Amino acid sequence: MILDRKKMLVVVCATSAATLTYFLNHNLGLGAIVANGLVGLTAAMLLPASLAGVAYTASFVGMSSAAILPSVHWASIGGAVLSLVVLSTTEVYAGIGGKGGTTAALSTLITKAFIGFLS
Amino acid sequence: MENLIFILTASAAGTLSYHISNKFKKGPVFGSSIITLLAGIVLPLLFPETGGKLAAAAACASYAGMAATKLIPTTFEMAFISALSGIMLLIASNAYVGVGGRLGTIAALACLAWMGIRRGFKESDNICMDKLEITKIGVWE
């Protein structure tokens, strides 16, 4: 996979959204649902539709509990993993509600496997 | 009663999200995130004991509400899918707790389940029509 400018933007948006959601959720104590809503709404208003979708999907990763992703750094890595999954599966199940959540769950579990492998 | 409120909340949230997203043309991310944010703020204030669970149900259904009209064309179908996502969330309440994307996965499963049911109904209708035609020909002969 060659990383052009568009794909780099996807990676940056996903990493930022997951990190921000995790920070709002755990560090500021807003809770997963409010954090996800805030990040999604901001992305929908500021970003073009395709990037907003990626950012909202990545924010699902940031909804993970501290038992699954222990720190904000791991949330960032989760966001980066998600961007790679999104770039590889753009056409799969397009238009089905919840596709983003499924992608996020897969990315979270991959990241959790990394954490388990390293510890 | 608590479970019924849970399912009704999910149904309302998913339908609203679908309407904002598709009928008001605001896009799926805006449609879902506004419902998620409002549910996350309002429901815990209105129902201090069960508000958190209800907000999760609303968020889950709002992810289902991101579905495109090409795949889920009517509001009735979306109301059913949202209620189904609420039921599935109740059943799977102890599965993968804390994993980001769990609610979205349940929403996707509810969408796929409904699409399977709809296809099953269509095919059974076709089989009935075939039998009817055979019977008609038989009577005519």
pLDDT tens-digit map of A43-80: 999 999 889 999 999 999 999 999 999 999 999 999 99
The secondary element (H helix, E strand) that includes residue B51 is helix B51-64
Residues of B in contact with A34 (CB under 8 A): 37, 40-41
A89 touches B133 (CB < 8 A): no
CB-based contact B71 A96, cutoff 8 Å: yes
Mutate to test the interface with A, among B15, B21, B29 (most CBs of A within 10 A): B29
Residues of A in contact with B20 (CB under 8 A): none
Tell me how far the alpha carbon of residue B106 is from its chain's centroid: 10
Q: Is residue A102 classed exposed, middle or buried when 0-12, 13-18 and 19+ CB atoms within 10 A define those classes?
A: buried
Q: Taking chain B, what is the end-to-end CA distance rounded to the nearest angstrom?
A: 58
CB-based contact A101 B104, cutoff 8 Å: yes
For B43, the 3-state DSSP assignment is: helix
In terms of DSSP H, where are the helices of chain A? 5-22, 32-46, 49-61, 72-88, 99-118
B83 touches B111 (CB < 8 A): no
Task: State pLDDT tens for residues B79-88.
Answer: 999 999 999 9
Residue among A63, A94, A96 whose CB faces B108 most closely: A96
Domain of B125, in residue numbers: 2-140
pLDDT for the residue numbered A71? 92
Judge whether A29 is closer than 8 Å to chain B, CB to CB.
Answer: no
Question: Which residue ranges in chain B fall short of pLDDT 70?
Answer: 128-141
User: In this prediction, what percent of chain B has a pLDDT beyond 90?
Assistant: 62
A95 touches B67 (CB < 8 A): yes
Task: State pLDDT tens for residues A8-36.
Answer: 999 999 999 999 999 999 999 999 999 99
Q: Which residue of B has its CA nearest to A46?
A: B30
How many structural domains does chain A have?
A: 1
How many structural domains does chain B have?
A: 1
Tokens for B84, please give them: 């189904």
The predicted complex's ipTM stands at 0.87
pLDDT for the residue numbered B141? 45
